[in-house]
């Protein structure tokens, strides 16, 4: 039995402008009206896309999408090679978790996510800096990536992690933020 593949032209749900989707992309903003759009199994749905303001005097050379989630980490067990170890103090209160939604290696995803999650930058909304492109990670996959971020932060501590078991409790759905970057460095405070 052979199946057929049907290509469907994606159009903005607000104004009807064709969406120039690249392979593996799952979210965009319309180049005409700015409406956020996300690919789902049976077509497109609207998506709120937030643009972070660049700090005054900083000139980004590109804008990249990240999923931002809010929640808590509850440790069930954490052991080091010298016995029981306490979790990072960051987890004592609710935190924001940052996961790249753009194509990158697992090491880049972990590093960027760990750095931003430890910094806990307060993102300030700013104007859209053009159409969103390059978003390849679905929001439902962002949770698993956030777990990698928690593991990265815990594994990098000096107490020589041996075993960890935790629950990541998210308070709401991931939000798509587009952050200003200069090279590989996000320009956020």
pLDDT band at 9 (very low <50, low <70, confident <90, very high): confident
What CA–CA distance (Å, rounded) separates 136 from 80? 36
- pLDDT the model gives residue 130: 86
pLDDT tens-digit series, residues 15-60: 999 998 888 999 999 999 999 999 998 889 999 999 999 999 989 9
What average pLDDT does this structure show over 89-104?
96
> Has residue 63 got a pLDDT over 80?
yes
pLDDT band at 5 (very low <50, low <70, confident <90, very high): low
Pick the closest to residue 159 from 93, 107, 83, 89 (CA basis): 83
Q: Token pair of 90, please?
A: 């960051």
Report helix, strand or coil for 123.
Answer: coil
What CA–CA distance (Å, rounded) separates 71 from 150? 12
Strands 36-40 and 27-29: antiparallel
Q: Token pair of 80, please?
A: 């080091």
Model's pTM, two decimal places? Answer: 0.90
Report helix, strand or coil for 114.
Answer: helix
Largest interatomic CA distance in the chain = 61
pLDDT tens-digit series, residues 116-128: 999 999 999 999 9
Residue keyed to tokens 């998506």:
47
**Secondary structure letter of residue 93 according to DSSP:** S
Paired with 40 in beta bridges are 43
Helices 106-119 and 139-155 pack at an angle, to 10 degrees, of 80
Q: Are 151 and 115 in contact (CB under 8 A)?
A: no
- End-to-end CA separation in angstroms for the chain: 56
Cα torsion angle, 156, 161, 162, 167, sign:
negative
Paired with 165 in beta bridges are 77
């Amino acid at each position: 039995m052979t199946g057929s593949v049907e290509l469907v032209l994606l159009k903005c749900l607000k104004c009807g402008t064709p969406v120039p989707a690249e392979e593996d992309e799952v979210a965009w903003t319309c180049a005409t009206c700015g409406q956020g759009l996300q690919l789902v199994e049976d077509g497109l749905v609207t998506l709120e896309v937030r643009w972070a303001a660049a700090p005054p005097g900083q000139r980004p050379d590109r804008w990249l999408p990240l999923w931002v989630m809010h929640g808590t980490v509850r440790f069930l067990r954490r052991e080091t090679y010298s016995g029981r170890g306490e979790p990072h103090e960051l987890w004592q209160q609710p935190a924001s978790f940052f996961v790249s939604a753009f194509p990158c290696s697992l090491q880049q995803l972990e590093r960027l996510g760990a750095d931003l999650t430890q910094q806990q930058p307060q993102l300030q909304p700013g104007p859209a800096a053009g159409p969103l492109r390059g978003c390849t990670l679905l929001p439902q996959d962002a949770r698993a990536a956030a777990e990698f971020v928690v593991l990265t932060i815990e594994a990098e501590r000096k107490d020589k992690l041996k075993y960890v078991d935790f629950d990541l409790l998210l308070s709401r759905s991931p939000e798509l933020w587009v952050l200003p970057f200069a090279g590989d460095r996000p320009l956020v405070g």
